[in-house]
Structure 1
Amino acid sequence: MVSVVLPCFNAAPTLAEAIDSIRAQTWKDWELIVLDDGSSDNSVRIAEAIAASEPRVRVVRSEHVGIVKALQRACGDARGDYIARMDADDLAAPTRLAKQTALMNREPHVALSGTLIEMYGAPIGQGRRRYEKWINGLLSHEDIVRELFIECPLPHPTFMMRREAFDTIGGYQDHGWPEDYDLCMRIFCAGARFAKVPEMLLKWRERPQRLSMTDPRYSDASFRALKRHYLFRSYLKGRPSFHQWGAGEVGKRWLREWTDPSPAAVVDINPRKVGSTIHGIPVIAPQDLPPPGESYVVIAVGARGARDEIRAWLNPRGHKELDHYLFIA
């Protein structure tokens, strides 16, 4: 069985449509746990009215505890071998659960799968469209891991998790940063695998009030804190030294926030910066980087096209992505 967990808070305008998209699934062996997180609107009454005629829908009332505790409780009530996520303002395609379940059954080493998404709703700017293209372009485990430290490469509302793996890593946890990204990082550090169904199986509603747009836990600073935490538990673990590439706008934010250890130096292509220090860290030219394997390189550059340019510089000089360098922005 697939347990679909759907926490909601004041979601009355969209909740029924989201629930109906689960009821319309071609995969019939599911339960939907709607956890109302202390809504002050009609959300709980809408959910309970649907549950009255649909035994697979369970409604759990809660005082307002926030997204992480709501997810913890809903997942704790789940009875399925798989746990899938759903948001109260999104729409699942009718074959979503069937196709993700087939993938998980076919690939027993996959702990977490997702799907492609289509953004809709409020006007969507070029930046969000680029993000949609980026996240939909990461399909294989290798693609996802390669870009894991850039951003969360699987959209949270598309998650389907193997219950055993979910429990093994400790489920959702609250560290003051994005709970979905944190879960992905712990799955990665545990050595488990990711996958993605290469089809658009979720319509992801854009709206200014979306939690990921308003809550401090999803701020840029919170993302960087999460990445630093897991860098020192993965690629930088046990490294005697590391370098940062990038002293522009994005790179300076990273340089300001490193504590101990911090980069031995920061690489930048601007000759006016080379030889100076930024937040106490010396700036060097690319050609002054140590040889491959001597010092790991984390790359914090936000300019469009910069990743390909940096790969084109590093790879011919013997640097191998993930083994010797990693993009973190």
Structure 2
Amino acid sequence: MPAPVVTVLLPARNAETTVTRAVESLLQGTFQAIRVLVVEDGSTDGTHGVLQRLVTQDRRVALLDGGGRGLVAALQLALSHADSPYVARMDADDEALPRRLEASVDALEADPSLAGVGTGIELFREDQPVSPSLQSYAAWLNSLTTPEALHRARFIESPLCHPSVCLRRDALLAMGGWEDGDFPEDYALWLKLLHAGYGLRSLPEVLLRWRDSAQRLTRTDARYEKRRFLWLKAHYLARGPLADGRPCTLWGAGPSGLTLSRFLQDEGIPVERYIEVHPRKVGTRIQGIPVVSAEALGPPGRGLLLVCVGVRWAREELRAELTARGWEEGVDFLCAA
């Protein structure tokens, strides 16, 4: 068999009803120089038998035993067996559209500054409609089609759909691959790559059908709770945009802003003030930090403003207002919720 150009890392646990379609959608794609490394990770249903059949049907499929150690261990195991220049992700209940890997490799070969690309995604589930909030998140992901847009948005939410991504293996190895810890492993990897100076982007074409379900790790695992995302944001803000010692102002003294503030202070970054529009908060102190009105913000250049406004339409209005007033996103302010 010719050496693969892309190795797909596909962990599977209790996926007997979906994994055949996931693997076949890759094998039937327009890019054929692939290897699919499926990690059977402690299933208690018939997944193992399904995977054995797939291995006998196509020599591009290989089966690894993950021992039930979890997603990150499964990914790291598969990565250690990959020797292709590109490594792609896939989940056992998603479906790749035919051009997914071809378009991803074309984009990476056309732009050496990119460490990885995601693709446009289509959400689906079979038992009920996809929630409006998840649809909104998918639309936001699909909008990050340039490295610049994704870099500006990196502290809002995780800016790539993990199972849609194709990465340069060398860049992934340089970062140590996925890191296991009390935080979302995919968001940690994107922030680590961006902090190291690599580019990331999403392709505008919808090339992955991303399944939503009640069993998704983002709903069932504490590592994907909102506060763990905020901890990662504080960790990389302290090492990147706030590493120069600039004063830090937070716009928004709601739950997200207050939690981010605490994590920043744990990282040795003091928050100078909160900006608030709620009249009952203005003039008070929260966590010992003064709360001032929007009129007291002043001109840009004094420090870094972190916009901790979680409602998307409100954040976009504020972003537009700041830009119109001469504030440069990425220099004077960053959206962080």
Q: TM-score range by the shorter chain?
A: over 0.9
> Where in structure 2 are the equivalents of 1:34-183 lying within 5 Å?
34-121=38-125, 122-183=128-189
Q: Does 1:327 align with 2:318?
A: no
Quote the offset at 1:275 in angstroms.
0.8
> Where in structure 2 are the equivalents of 1:9-48 lying within 5 Å?
9-48=13-52
Q: From the superposition, tell whether residues 103 and 312 of structure 1 become closer, same or farther in structure 2 (CA, over 3 Å).
A: closer
Q: Distance in 1 between matches of 2:312 and 2:58?
A: 48
Quote the offset at 1:20 in angstroms.
0.8
Quote the offset at 1:153 in angstroms.
1.2
Q: Which moved more, 1:296-305 or 1:182-191?
A: 296-305
Q: Does the 8 Å CA contact 1:44/1:59 hold for their aligned counterparts?
A: no
> Where in structure 2 are the equivalents of 1:236-315 lying within 5 Å?
236-259=242-265, 260-315=268-323
Quote the offset at 1:314 in angstroms.
2.1
Quote the offset at 1:299 in angstroms.
1.1
Aligned to 2:240: 234
Q: Which moved more, 1:312-321 or 1:279-288?
A: 312-321
Give deviations 1:177-208, integer Å, cap 9, x for gaps. 11111111111011111132211100000100
Quote the offset at 1:175 in angstroms.
2.7
Give deviations 1:189-231, integer Å, cap 9, x for gaps. 1111113221110000010001121111111011111111111
Q: Provide the identity percentage.
A: 38
One-letter code aligned to 1:51: V
Quote the offset at 1:290 in angstroms.
5.0
Q: Distance in 1 between matches of 2:204 and 2:320?
A: 28
Q: Distance in 2 between matches of 1:311 and 1:25?
A: 40
Quote the offset at 1:328 in angstroms.
0.6
Q: Does the 8 Å CA contact 1:255/1:279 hold for their aligned counterparts?
A: no
Q: Distance in 1 between matches of 2:290 and 2:259?
A: 15
Q: Distance in 1 between matches of 2:58 and 2:273?
A: 60
One-letter code aligned to 2:217: L
Aligned to 2:212: 206
Q: Which moved more, 1:257-266 or 1:26-35?
A: 257-266
Q: Distance in 2 between matches of 1:256 and 1:168?
A: 31
SS at match of 1:264: strand
Q: Does 1:219 align with 2:218?
A: no
- C-alpha RMSD over aligned residues: 1.4
One-letter code aligned to 1:277: R
Q: Distance in 2 between matches of 1:84 and 1:116?
A: 15
How many residues were matched structurally? 329
One-letter code aligned to 1:282: P
Quote the offset at 1:138 in angstroms.
1.3
Gaps of 5+ in 1: none
One-letter code aligned to 2:313: G
Q: Distance in 2 between matches of 1:252 and 1:180?
A: 24
Quote the offset at 1:17 in angstroms.
0.9
SS at match of 2:205: strand
Q: Distance in 2 between matches of 1:300 and 1:47?
A: 45
One-letter code aligned to 1:62: G
